[in-house]
Structures are given as structure tokens and as C-alpha cells.
Amino acid sequence: MSRPLHRGVPAIRVTSSSNGLLDSQVKEQTEKEELDRNQSSHSRHRLTILLLKSSLVVIVILALTGSFWWTLSISTSSRGHIFHSSRRLQEQLVSDLWDIGELSFGTSRMKEIEFCPGELENYIPCFNVSENLDSGFSDGNEYDRVCRQRSRQNCLVLPPMNYKIPLRWPTGRDIIWVANVKITGQEVFTSGSLTKRMMMLEEEQISFRSASLMFDGVEDYSHQIAEMIGLRNESNFIQAGIRTILDIGCGYGSFGAHLFSEQILTICIANYESSGSQVQLTLERGLPAMIGSFSSKQLPHPSLSFDLLHCARCGIDWDKNDGSFLIEVDRVLRPGGYFVWTSPLINVQSSLRNKEKQKRWNFVRDFAENLCWELMSQQDETVVWKKTSKKTCYNSRISGSGPSICSKVQDVEFPYYRPLQNCIGGMHSRRWVPIEERATWPSRSNLNPSELALYGLHLDELNEDTANYRIIVRNYWSLLSPLIFSDHPKRPGDEDPSPPYNMLRNVLDMNARYGGLNAALLEARKSVWVMNVVPTTGPKYLPLILDRGYFGVLHDWCEAFPTYPRTYDMVHAEGLLSLESSQHWRCTMLDIFTEIDRMLRPEGWIIIRDAALLIDSARVLTRRLKWEARVIEIESNNDERLLICQKPFFKRQPS
């Protein structure tokens, strides 16, 4: 059953100068008598609110005290039911007190959040190049992620001029709107990267059509890599134990787009770019991507996370920084995994004519050997290494010939943007299992009891989580309709037609736990990929998610997520508010919600499931964010509620 608790603001057109419109319409009261009356009325209003709040506090105290003594006097058999009813009454009183408390702070507390200036349409907190340069960052480190205090802007990011809702998958994989991304025609055509070559259809669109020469090149390239590994073609990647690929400096995601049809999950990471961003365009195509850098810090992924790492002219000088970039590759690469590198530096004939190139290539080749990587094949500008599956290899190296093995203190399994290490990590992990010994996809998603035991879980717990999310996804999907905000809202299980399977593409789960939402969406054959986020303050189940064949990342939700604005179709958060509340709110609920708004596309969805009191608090904030919102009662769990919101499409107009 559902009931409306708040109605949001419908989509309207706004201008950048509309923020001061209300103030300009306020008329001054020139007559002293009228001013006195207003002041007197205001004082009486504040006094009334104060008395009302005081009365409610007294009522709450009396209700709690009375229910306590009453509960002691009743029989044990009826105590549970009466306590539950009393608790719901207490919750409603506290909720009412919260609302009146909000009103008592006046219009400033309830004022809608203003829109950001136009120059912040691609704003990403924690990535401020000019401020980093002023702080002394250089040599590429100015593009690093630096989250300073008060780095957030308390405003809502508007889309660019002429922004259009992205086309649905799979059409949106091949065609995107030029106005939706920050890129120039020169940036489109001047890149030499294989996966950046593209064809402009017309002024409003960029095409990645399969009929283009670019696609033929990517298909041949993928086929070449498969043969170098020893496979017939890329369709055999799954049988070789390859499911997850980290594509470093991915161009515009064409390599991952091609492999998607083979059930290979490829995630793009690339440096922050103010224009022509690889990450922004890849996400716009509906492909997994996030901002990430090898320049100075470890990636926010556990050790032994990926089956293959790929770098095709990715712009990283692997011979620099004493090989620490290659050590980081080794850390996140699973035993038996592959590192594929394509670069002009590898071309033998070119290197022989250039002593400097030859010296650099020799360093990378020798360093890889000291990491216990086997050079499997080298063709033209591409080389493939295979990481050892045996720990004994490291002990058989010549003393002092390569990086040492990290101590237990150094070998942190869950690094969160730690400085790069100069020792080999992952050696102390209980998850050291060669990829060829793991179950292949899709069987990998169902971990066996011995694998679950590494995380202190039993098979029944994972099965129960999976069964719950099957029901949850079915209900969620039936609610993703504007009908939910009508006077006769849609309810879970209604017979109305559900949204199409491809209504959503990019989904972010803010508190992913075991990856249950991801599993249920795939099982229901929805055309989505999920960014599974494990909060730094919660249980560390991220390795479990990665071992199931999904993608995930560690993140602190009091900081900005490393992505561009307008990159997700749906954001899901179950239990996140309770988690942050248990940490005594290191940041405000409004901070978290403004970040959700920044990441969400216009007309995107927000689903929050949490304790009833926290949902009631969150519902109040939706008005300030201009979201359409409705609270849904959960009949199977009276202690929780569901908050369904949709972000309106506010169009920017010339000022």
C-alpha cells in the first residue's frame, strides 16, 4: 500500500538569473504602523511555534513514560503487539516534531537549493586542477583527486544548453548527443588512439556505428589479443577465466563495447579531463567508467580484483617512477591474469633505430620478468604478459633483482587512495586463486561455501539475499513510472505494464553489500550494468562482489564520487542513511543528496530504502532538491520505508 507524503516540483524551464526573482518582488513596507503590526505578528508566530514544540516534547515524554509502565503491567503474550503499536505512535510523534522543527527555523531552512552557475555544468568536487597547481602539484599530479574541506558547492548542477535525454540501450551505445558532453570537433578527430576514432553523423550526434572502420579495427584487435593469449577468438575469453577487464585510458570505450556482447565486463578508468573526457563519453554511451589515475595513489580496489588489464596507448609511461605503476597493475591483477599493452615503444624495428625507446622497452620487459610475469607473445605494437599463478616464483628470483614482497603491515587489502607502494602486494590475501581455477561466468556469481567462508558467510545467507532482491527488483521495476507521483499512484505488483527492460542502463548502488541488486537485475534480464559501491564505513564485502564477477569500488560518501555530472540513470541506497547515522553523521544528509543529484541524469530515479524515521527526514529534503518524491509503506517490514524520487529535467535558457 502506498500513500503520498510529499509531492515534488514538476519540470520547468529556468534561467541562470532566476534566483533573485523572488527578492526583487518583495515590496518594502513604508508605513510605521504596518511594520509594527508585522513585527508583532511575527513575534506571536514564533511564540506559537515555540509553545507547540514544547507541548509536543511534553507529549512525547509522557507517551514514552506511560507506555513503559503500561508495558510492564501487561501479559507477556500480548506485549509484542502492543509494543509495536506504541512504537509506531512514538515514531509518528517524533516525525511530526521533526517537521515542526524544520518550520521553526523559518524559510532559510526550507529554501530550495539554487542552481550552480553555467560554468559548473561539468563540475566534479575533488578535481580542481588550478587549485592543485597553486598547491605545488606538477608532473601530471595536478590532475589527482584531492578532497579538501568545503570543496563542495552547495548548488544543483544544471545540464548544458541543448542537453537531450540519452537514447536507450543499445542504440545509445552507438549514438550520443554532442551537446551532452564537453568535446570539440578537433578533439574528436585529432586523437591517434585506436578506440578514439569515430565518425560524426551530423552536427547534433556522434556515431560509433558498427559499420565504421573503427569497429572493424577494434574487432580485429580483440581477435589478435585472443590469439596471443592462445585462444581461437575473443568469444573464448570466458572459457579462459576472463570475465572482468580494467581498461586503462580506454579512449571512448569501444574495446569494452565490443566485448560486452561476449559477456565480458570492461570498466574504463582514465584521468580527469576538463574537456574531451574519455570517462564522460564512455558513460554517456552506457558503458562502465570512472575517473582513476596511476600517477601517485593506489586505486580504490582490493588486491587481486581483475582478470585482465588493458592499456592501448593509454598515455602511462610504465618505465617511470621506478616501476611503481607496474607494481600497482600487479596488485590488482588476479593470479594467472593478463596484462595487455599496445604502444609504439614495443615496435622492435622502431626501437632498434631509437636508443632511448630501446632503453625504455628493456626496462619494462625486465621489470615485468622480475614481477614473475611470463611474456606470452609480442606482435607489432602489442605485447601480452601472464601473471604467475604460483607464489613460489617470487622466492626463486635472484636476490635483489626485483621489488620485494610487501609485509603484512604494508599489504593492505582495502586501500583507499593510499600512496603507491614499491613492494609486491596481494601475497598475504586468502583470495590468491588462479583465474583458471575459478568457476567461469555465469557460474562464478554463485560462490561456493568455501569461498563464502572467507567472508564469514554461509551459503544460506547469500541465497536469502538473492531471493529477497528478486522480489525487490520486481517491485522496483513496477514503480519506475511517473504514475507513482499521480493522485492515484502505482503500487508494487499492480497489473499496469512495467517499464521496458532497457529503461535504465547506468545504475549506481551506494551500499551494495553482497551485490544482490546487481545479481537480481541481471537475472531479470534488465539491460543494465551496476556500479557496486561499498562504503568505507561499512562491512568490507567488496572482494566478494568482485569475486562474483561484478564490478565494484570502495568509497567514502562524505566525499564526491569520481564521476562527471549526469552519468547515472538510477541511484539506489539501502541502509546507507542508517550506516551514516551510526557514524554520527560525519557529513549531512543534504551533502549526500546533493551529490546524488550531481551524478543523476535528468529524469533519473532515486530509490532509498531505510528506517522509517530516516526516510521521513529524507522526504523533507526532497523539496529543497526539487525532486518529485513519494514514500511507500513496506507491508512486510513496518520498521522501514521506501522513498522513490525522480529528478526533473530543468532546461537551461540563455541569460
Residue finishing a domain among 396, 431, 460: 396
146 vs 368 pLDDT, higher one: 368
- Which residues are within 8 A (CB) of 139 and not within 5 positions of it... i.e. 6 or more apart? none
In a domain, residue 434? The reply is: no
Cβ contact 124:90 at 8 Å: no
Query: Could you read off the pLDDT of 518-543 as tens digits, one per residue?
Result: 999 999 999 999 999 999 999 999 99
- Of the pLDDT bands very low, low, confident and very high (cuts 50, 70, 90), residue 489 is confident
Neighbours of 375 (CB within 10 A): 12
Q: Are residues 320 and 464 in the same domain?
A: no
Q: What pLDDT sits at residue 100?
A: 47
Q: Are residues 280 and 370 in the same domain?
A: yes
Q: Are residues 611 and 520 in the same domain?
A: yes
Query: Could you read off the pLDDT of 45-74 as tens digits, one per residue?
Result: 566 666 666 666 666 566 555 544 444 443
Q: Are residues 391 and 517 in the same domain?
A: no
Place of cell 556482447: 261
Computed over every residue of the chain, the mean pLDDT equals: 83
Residue finishing a domain among 370, 396, 422: 396
Q: What pLDDT sits at residue 328?
A: 97
Q: Are residues 392 and 452 in the same domain?
A: no
Place of cell 499521480: 486
Q: Are residues 219 and 356 in the same domain?
A: yes
DSSP sequence for 168-179: PTTHHHHEEEGG
DSSP sequence for 435-485: GGGSPPTTGGGS--HHHHHTTT--HHHHHHHHHHHHHHHHHHHHH-SGGGG
Place of cell 630501446: 358
Q: How far apart are CA 413 and CA 15, in angstroms?
A: 48
362 vs 638 pLDDT, higher one: 362
In a domain, residue 63? The reply is: no
Q: Are residues 370 and 464 in the same domain?
A: no
Domain count, the chain: 2
CATH of the domain at 611: 3.40.50.150
Least confident of 66-70, 292-296, 397-401, 464-468: 66-70
Mean predicted confidence (pLDDT) in 178-206: 67
Query: Could you read off the pLDDT of 442-459 as tens digits, one per residue?
Result: 999 999 999 999 999 999
Query: Could you read off the pLDDT of 202-244 as tens digits, one per residue?
Result: 678 888 864 443 445 888 999 999 999 999 999 999 999 999 9
Task: Name the residue range of residue 232's domain.
Answer: 215-396
Q: Are residues 289 and 379 in the same domain?
A: yes
Q: Is 70 helix (H, G, I), strand (E, B) or coil?
A: helix
Q: Are residues 525 and 614 in the same domain?
A: yes
CA distances from 203 to 161, 176, 277, 315, 360 (A): 14, 11, 19, 29, 42
Q: What pLDDT sits at residue 412?
A: 92
Q: Are residues 377 and 491 in the same domain?
A: no
Question: Residue 259, Cα to own-chain centre: how many angstroms?
Answer: 21
In a domain, residue 308? The reply is: yes
pLDDT over 90 (residue 399): no
In a domain, residue 588? The reply is: yes
Query: Could you read off the pLDDT of 249-263 as tens digits, one per residue?
Result: 998 899 999 999 999
Helix ranges, 12-162 (H): 21-24, 32-73, 76-104, 107-110, 129-134
The phi, psi pair for 248, rounded to 5°, reads: -90, 125
Question: Residue 324, Cα to own-chain centre: how many angstroms?
Answer: 27
In a domain, residue 165? The reply is: no
In a domain, residue 29? The reply is: no
In a domain, residue 224? The reply is: yes
Q: Are residues 389 and 506 in the same domain?
A: no
In a domain, residue 508? The reply is: yes
